[in-house]
Structure 1
Amino acid sequence: MSKLFNWYSGLGLATKQFIYLFIVTLFLVMVLAYRNLSEAEALLKNQVIRDAELLVGRTNQYIDASLDNVENMLLLLSTRYDLFEDGNEAIAADTLRKFADYNNSIAKTLYLVRTDGKVYANEQVNYDIIGNPMLPELYKLALENYGAINVSEPYYSTMSGHTLAYVLPVTDARRQLQGVVVAEVNLDSLTERIAPMIYQSYALMTRDGNIINRLDSRDKMLPYQAGAYPPVLQESFREQLEAVKIGVSRIEGNHHEMLAVVKSTTNRLGWSLAAFIEEDYFYQGLQQLNNNYRTASVVWMIILLLSAYLLSRSFTKPIRRFVEKMDRLHDVQIVAKLPVTRKDEIGRLTQSYNDMLERIQTLLHKTKSAEEQKKEYELKMLRSQIAPHFLYNTLACISSLAKQQRIDEVRDTIRSLVKLLAFSFDKQSEYVSIEEELEGLRMYMHIQQVRYGEQYTYELDVDPSLLQYRILKLTLQPLVENALFHGISPRNGGLITIKGKLEHGVIRLYVRDNGIGISRTEARKALHDQFEQERSKYRFTGIGLRNVHDRIRIHHGVPYGLRIGSTPGVGTVIRVGIPVLTENDERLGIMG
């Protein structure tokens, strides 16, 4: 023993590490192989069962989520009792078609059944040809639990095939029954989405024991009734399945083979999901695993001799050095790059690490710069929102109107001023609807017309479908103000036109005036720091074109912002490009 110890002490460090790694690793491999062979059967079975339970639970959640979409769709349609009125047939069919297209993954066919028996469907032509004999029964089902959603048992529909229906009565504002909305569920689509989630085979059952999913005759695990199409489970097997408790159980399947059954809890509709796994599935890989361990043990000893040596010499040491240098990294903004002295994977890893640090630093600088710029422009906007001279002159105008006993004009002017100030000072959101922005413009132009006369006119030509979309507050008002004081004011009157439409998925707003115009050179410079028009002290705000342009780009990106075109003596047009943004997108933080 002393000679062996002396021999080991005289070896080099790399050789010692090689011998140590070889002995320790070989010992661990043999221990692990022995333990794995003895425990493989139990582990495999438990793992498969746990996976099946997890998948069944997730599948049940997916089914609930999918059916929630159907319920939400019915609740939305139930608010549209106007669709049941005479003369709204085309609107009703178009509304059903839109709902069906949007929810085609779960809803197959939608119907509106009036009290007089008239039926509207999302596929009206098909319904007029082939009809649906189940609708009278579904109408009665909807009225059984008045005011709530009812769900039918599975049936065959001429319009939707193998399906089941959600039904809900619809009443008007006086609580008078207008009809029933019916949604036939796309069970084929639901089955296709559930099938990849479950091991081997499954069955989705209603509280009455009816099978919802379409069974596959090629499935050799479950016993089917002979000669039945579509396939139907044998009655004895279905009764066994109903009696199975929630959790993991055993049941006799086709050809008397035992199956493991994982059954879920019932959902809100009383549905339950059962996944089937053949018990032979748990053992089929064990023999091969045993043979693989024998072969792997021999091969592993040979490979281990070589790999342990290479690991000691060429891999372990540089990796440790690299990790130590990485551990010393605390601030990615101030860090020295690691030297690249190798051309192998370690060298490429070091180079990739240096590149990653550089990209992180660049992104941090860009993010910090953008945030600072955003804050700067927002502060500028808030500081210059209301020009005091505008208030002084407007109040002086109101005083003059009062002295002239023009009470109605005084009242209208004060109302417009109060609403305009309330609109500007409202800090609840940086966004308003286009309709609210245009309302602010109307109030602003009313005040200007009172002050300067009717020679300052304006026209609105905005697509009504755009009024619901969101826009940054005080986007159009500075542009109209600019057109008023720098375009038509020098001519002592003129017309400002505001137009809006949707072009290629982008909202385009145009502010046009027939004022004095500017040259092409000035138009090109209007959105740069070098160009700054003289601001009238009578303007409502100090917000300029550059501020509006930069705010839009900060929030929505470079593709959006202002474009200016002008012809001297003819007028100027400013085009605003913004993304289509709804109130829901704003709440979710989706800003284009």
Structure 2
Amino acid sequence: MMDRLYRFNAKIKLRTKLFLLLFVLLMVSLALSSYGYYTYSLDNAVSQYSKDAYQNIRQSNIILDQKLLKIVENSELMNKDKDIYRIFNTIDPEDPNDLLKYDRELKRIIGKYFDYDEQVYSQTLMTSYYTFGEGFIPYESFMDSSVYRHIRQGEGQLVWEPTYDFIKMYDQKSLAGSDIGDFRYLFSCGRVLNLFDNSTGEITGLPHGKERPVLLINFKLDFLTEFYKSLAYDAHLRFFLIAPDGSLVFANDEASQSLTNSPWVSEVLSGKSGTLRAGERRDPMVVSYDTSQVTGWTLVSAIRDKDLIPQVSRNIATTIARLGLIVLMISLILAYFMSMVITKPLIQLVTAIRKTGRGDFANRIPVHGYGELDNVIRRFNDMNDKIQQLIHENYEVKLLEKQAQINLLNMQLNPHFLYNTLNLVSCIAIEQRSDEISRIVSSLSRMLHYTVENDKSTGRLREELEWLEGYIYIMTCRYEGRLDYGCYMEPELLEGEVPRLFLQPFVENAFVHGFEQMEDGCVLRITGWREDNHRCFSVRDNGNGISAGRIEEIMKGNSSSVGIKNVHRRLKLMYGEEYGITIQSNSGRGTIILIRLPDDAVQ
């Protein structure tokens, strides 16, 4: 199966493969871009809808508050109405004629403060003995209702009562079978009138024992239905009005009414005004809400995303389809031309390679651009040039190789010739019974052998000391018995690896600079020991010493004595900045060189 796929793939031209690949990539990019644009546009649309819905709710509450504010203001004015004060100051609750007479007069007064509205069921002044005004409210059961209790708890402030059932509130079981649809469900506002008279310049309240009436205005639900008609522009929009305690005041349908039990309602009541995303993950919705400054009731609108999205996404999908068609055509053209641009130089390169394979190294591909394929073609042309050059230089290269072999043999022969010559001198010195010359030559031969034939950067301390012994022996012969030399090393240090010739520059400096003006008593000590997981070495002499300024010049490399500086730098490069050398010296008092290396175990 895989072999068939490989064979089928081999039959497809590279240009076709590139065209399909580029086209697919462009289509994937288009799909991802379209999805991103769709999601972004949808989020923006939902966000904008939330703002618009909130503004509608906010504006509706403001208009309703302006209308209800008149009721609040007029109800406050009734407190200081001298006619109402006079009536309730003089009325005899036991006299039916008084009740009828003052009922007519109070209807006229109430009508002065509140305009007639067919959506208002009643405007009454309630007492325990009579109902004054328009509308039927049984005063006996009113005094036992929760409406009355709430108004009393308001202590003279206007209290708003959410929607209630007239029959249940006022215990009117006799009306249960009657058609009272107009006023079956009402919402109310009311306040206790704390009447007073200030016509004489002094404020006079009702005498003790006189009952203070309760202003009660009952609204039909049509009042809210007509007012909120403007919010019902969308059949999917749900809106409702709730009191601070969660009681339902009004809902546009049963689906809206069911939302009042949602867990997010408490957040709406505490938030007072704003928008939020509510509902479950599978059924999210946009909620806008605002609380009335007059009633304290919160108006809430909600719409599910799945009802909102079809309206929004239709325009987005149309826009994406149009743009997608244009991008599709452009993608086809771009994919074709890009495949042509890529494959044309490759085809030329393949043709040229075939010619080169047949031995035609003179063929060249014209190139004018600076892209990657152009650089590959240039490299191909350069390769052919180099192949031709290598063909012409083949014999010359062979001759050079032979010359290199001869030079290598010479390099190998030169040290051996020098060793053999030194050994010959040593043998002659022995024959002539000159042991000192023989030993000097032998020491020089060993030193040369150790220096030339060992190309490692480190060696064993034992070998380093053997080389140094030869050097010191030669210098001892030169100083003719004036040198007192001693080397003291802890035995376990002898097999450790140390940098090659790391002691030689300091010993040489002792001979060249320290002892140069001394007639006798030259002392040289080399010591090695372990200390705190480090290997420490010292080279100490009693020579002329070095001044502090001279030491600073040497360490900075500003003097002709570069050996010390080179060893110091080499140790730091090999082992780290904490290692190296320290010079302790004063003019005329000798010199101590301290060398610090890491222990073999911690390297």
Larger Rg: 2
TM-score by length of 2: 0.36
TM-score by length of 1: 0.36
